[in-house]
Structure 1
Amino acid sequence: MIGALSLLDIAAYRAQRALGSVVLAQVTWLVDGPPDPDRLRALADHLAAANQTGRVIVPASVLGGRDHWGPLPAVPAVEVEDDPIDRVDVLDWVDERAQVPITATARPWHLAARPLTGGGHAVTLVVSHALTDGIGLVNALTSLGLPGPGPRTVRRPGPLTGLQEAVTGLPSAVRAAVKAARLARGGGPAPTASPTTSRTRPHTALALIDSAAWHAAAAAQLGSSNALFVSVAAQVAAAIGRVATDGTALLGIPVNERADGDDVTANALATVRLNLPADRIRDVAHVRAELKRILSSREPDASFAAALPLVPYLPSAALRPLAQAALGGAEPVTSASHVGVVPRSLADAPGPAGAVFMNLGMQHPGVTETAERLNCVAVEASGMVALHVGAVADRLTDRAEVRSALLAALRAVGAEPRELL
């Protein structure tokens, strides 16, 4: 992978760096039979050859220069652990693997497997979100069997390249700075950080629901799979207290903007906002109508796009409050990402899988306080809908509270889980 990152990808990467955090995407498979080391190594080799995951970020050498893509230095070793764990403890292991360090500049992903005491095994892949979003990762995994790019030798950009980029981009940056100054004089609200918590790792829960039962529940309430999921996410948010003071659930819903064949852009998505009053969060038909309304009427954020040329010129101290605001600011926004149905080639990538789930996470090396957050992700594969919830907040004392909130929400919409972890 050769060339400079897009301004949006630079902003996403530098925002993480400014916060001292790593945003990650994680895919986990619950697979039949024992781990197959050869198949896992083949999967790692494929990921290393794919454009989306076979790369690292080469940071700009001068302020104002652009970060570049460089080749992955080596295929990360696959870790196959020997000690089996009970299936009920899978999420603990998944969470532990999410804390094994990754860095977008050297080791941007890792792959591991562990046997289960009752038979079968779990496989989990942790990837830096600076490399790819969820759909990009799905695309990389579903290109299994396709020829990857040939050997890549890339001359890393030096200081002269950075200086040229800084000079070339300066007029756009000046225009962006002028526009930002005008907006500030206009009395717009200053960025505000989300409430913080002393927890750095989430309380998590996972529900596995038969696809037929899930879609039947959506149809019975004149909804859709996406609307049913958003209703469940809003109910979980209400149950754990991550709502506005009047009880309104605030949902941030990622929308895929990746063009067909785009395996370069790391973060090809936008986020739309859906506010659900407390008395409508269980009304799946209402949620569906509101989703249609906001998706059909949404427009690109022109002010955000106009400010992007300024990002390469901002030091970390200036980016930090903007990055904190991007995580939701002081408002208790819940991230609700419905990935949809993934192809069989992804579901069986490490071996025949009975379930696949995805989640978002963060690493905070050396950080003692983090922003509160609630992330919900739904994936359908192998005849099963997997709904993962991860919550970070001081008000939560253990995972049982999140599991209880998720189970109650599913039962409220008539989607009884086959398994709850």
Structure 2
Amino acid sequence: MSNVLDLADQALFLGERATGTTSLVQCVWVYNRPVDIDGLKRFNDHLGRGRLARRIKRSPLPFGRHRWVSPGERPGLEIAATPRPRAEFDAWCDEQANLRPDAEHGPGWHLALLPFTDGGAGVSLVITHCLSDGVGLCEAVADGACGRDDAIRWPAAQSRRRWRALREDARQTICDTTDVGRAVVAAARLARADRRGAGPVAPPSERRRAPLTGPDESLTLPAATIFIDADEWDDRARALGGTGNALLAGMAARLAQRVGRVVADGSVNVGMPVNERAPGDTRANAVTNVDVTLGPAAITTDLREIRAAIK
């Protein structure tokens, strides 16, 4: 099995390195009872031997394809020394996300536990998107919970001598030329289609603010956490003639309407990820994005048009 990064995974990694950003995926669990610490440690150990047990090794060629290698030391479970009120859980989750996992140098993920002052606890698992997308993370979590280790063992970081790595990566680059060319042509066509199909944007309701000046600083975007019963969500979607995905798209479109993120005719462009992961897939991001345009009439209490649009 090849340990060469997929082109999309390499593009994401290089984009992050160029911009100094990190795309994250975070899972959280909230318990109203004490947590089995030993069980959580076993879960952490299995994560370290599962699908997340790898990191990225750069090619010695500046234009070469990078490779997956074994991660070396596994990250341990972090247990907060001081319990905090349940109301501070969101702030703690932000703190965990700010630790910034590293797909190249490691660790690429981090599991932590926060005891609550009322006796419950919260758990956070943060990974870099360079290691996995959402579906891959769900599979990794399921494997870790069931005690399943990954059968794939990636090579050590220093398993290739420099001259061998140069020869292999140069040969890989030649083989990739056709695929890269096709990707560039497809991207150019898509960009032209987007420019032709995009309508004029509706004027904002407020005057544009002046750009920020001064030193860089961290910004936390406003967010809200909502707990929804999964069965109630699905029941409501069916009652409106749609699916759970259609209901989510409808909510996103309605929010876009409320804040004025629409084009001149009142329609909303909604981007939806589509899973492409197959059994045995080793890609970090086996997903494609589909853009759906929803007209004003579709963003109502009837999901049938939205359901048809996203099929």
TM-score category, normalised to shorter length: 0.7 to 0.9
Q: Which runs of 4+ in 1 moved over 6 A?
A: 181-185, 195-199
Q: How far apart are 1:178 and its partner, in Å?
A: 9.2
The amino acid of 1:240's aligned partner reads: V
Give 5+ residue unaligned stretches, structure 2: 196-207
Equivalent of 2:170, from 163, 166, 170? 166
Report the structure, 1 or 2, having the larger strand content: 1
Specify the SS of the correspondent of 1:251: strand
Equivalence map 1:1-150=2 (5 Å): 3-50=3-50, 52-105=51-104, 106-143=106-143, 144-149=146-151
User: In structure 2, do the counterparts of structure 1 residues 179 and 222 end up closer, same or farther at CA, with 3 Å as the change threshold?
Assistant: closer
Partner residue in 1 for 2:242? 223
- Cα separation, 2, equivalents of 1:140 and 1:174: 33
Structure 1 residues 150 and 275 mapped into 2: Cα distance closer, same or farther (>3 Å)? closer
CA contact (8 A) 1:23 1:129 kept: yes
Report whether the alignment pairs 1:258 with 2:277: yes
- Alpha carbons of 1:158 and 1:5: their partners in 2 closer, same or farther (altered >3 Å)? farther
Q: Displacement of 1:236 after TM fit?
A: 2.1
SS at match of 1:21: coil
Q: Where in structure 1 are there 5+ consecutive unaligned residues?
A: 293-421
Figure out how many residues of one structure are paired with residues of the other and give that number: 287
Amino acid aligned to 2:130: A
Greater displacement, 122-131 / 247-256: 247-256
Aligned equivalents of 1:216, 1:270: Cα separation in 2: 28
Inter-partner Cα distance in structure 2 for 1:175 and 1:215: 41
Cα offset for 1:64? 2.5
Residue 274 to residue 181, structure 1, CA distance change in 2 (3 Å):
closer
In the superposition, the TM-score normalised over structure 2's length comes to 0.80
In structure 2, the partner of 1:371 is none
Structure 1 counterpart of 2:91, which letter? Answer: D
Work out the CA distance in 2 between the residues paired with 1:76 and 1:259. Answer: 28
AA matched with 2:68: W
Structure 1 pair 259–29 and aligned structure 2 pair: CA distance change class (3 A): same
Alignment RMSD (CA, Å) = 3.2
CA contact (8 A) 1:35 1:114 kept: no
In 1, Cα distance between the equivalents of 2:81 and 2:43? Answer: 19
Kept in 1, the 8 Å contact 2:70–2:153? The answer is no
TM-score, normalising length: structure 1? 0.61
- SS of equivalent to 2:228: strand
- Where do residues 305-384 of structure 1 align in structure 2 (5 Å cutoff)? none
Shift in alpha-carbon separation, 1:199–1:4, aligned structure 2, 3 A: same
* Aligned match of 1:213: 232
Paired with 1:32 and 1:245, the residues of 2 have a C-alpha distance of 48
**C-alpha offsets along residues 221-267 of structure 1, whole Å, 9 cap, x if unaligned?**
111111111111222233333333544222111111011232x1111
- The aligned amino acid for 1:109 is W
Secondary structure at 1:8 match in 2: helix
